[in-house]
Structure 1
């Protein structure tokens, strides 16, 4: 079985009771909301990753104001075009960020197609990945160990 480790960095940006999210297609093509952020490139510090990814996906420049915690998930799945299942482990560093410049825009030619602010009260009604819920719990609860237990993401 092929093993894959992916390390990524994301930011929770809340302003005036609204959360900044990006929209990405799920594996079946259905759009779902995600935190802006993405994979750490080889040799890149995760802090730099989240700043770069926020700019790419939303048009905003952010100041990282803290490390909220780490989300980790592990699952096995089949991927089209690959032989056999993939044993995937995702490690996601969740930062808090504050918008300090730029203008909201949609990413062109990337992994997301839209960026938007959403009222915090409306987030539970959105089609979203589990990381959004985990990150909001980290933001709200600020656990000393940087970890919130949630059910596994499929």
Structure 2
């Protein structure tokens, strides 16, 4: 990594909601228009508790109210984001992702408008491997299935 890269830690919180062998996912839109499936959730506002952020983000991205059942784990991953017309310096992003198990308690499924996602859907777990998705989806499913004692998936 070159020393002129902007370095940033981004804490985020997500919820794994599984019902009837289906998982709730949201489709993320990249700055370049790329669309990839991800877990509902996202970045914490300054001073926001991760628990509250996960609930807020799921509501924003899917329309559902959720109850968080348990902490599944924490994932840490570095991303190099190349320079572009908006940010002329490359960015070295350290994603710190807090993953909870969630249960839908109300609301109605809907798509987010004017946000970082454009679609929310229940996807059969057996079909997830066929989707274009971010690495967090596989990590979150592994945390949900394996429930490792230390809340960490070793890659």
Normalised-by-shorter TM-score class: over 0.9
TM-score, with length taken from structure 2:
0.92
Q: Which residue of 1 aligns with 2:77?
A: 73
Instruction: Using structure 1 for the length normalisation, give the TM-score.
Output: 0.93
CA RMSD of aligned residues (A): 1.1
Q: How many residues align?
A: 150
Give the 4+ runs in structure 1 shifted more than 2 A. 81-85
| CA distance in 1: counterparts of 2:113 and 2:88, whole angstroms | 31
Q: Which residue of 1 aligns with 2:18?
A: 14
Q: What corresponds to 2:30 in structure 1? A: 26
Cα displacement (A) at 1:99 = 0.1
Judge which range, 22-31 or 116-125, deviates more: 22-31
How far apart are residue 19 of structure 1 and its match?
0.2
**1:137 paired to 2:142:** yes
Deviation at 1:26, TM superposition (A): 3.1
Any unmatched runs of 5+ in structure 2? none
Gaps of 5+ in 1: none
CA distance in 2, matches of 1:83, 1:12: 35
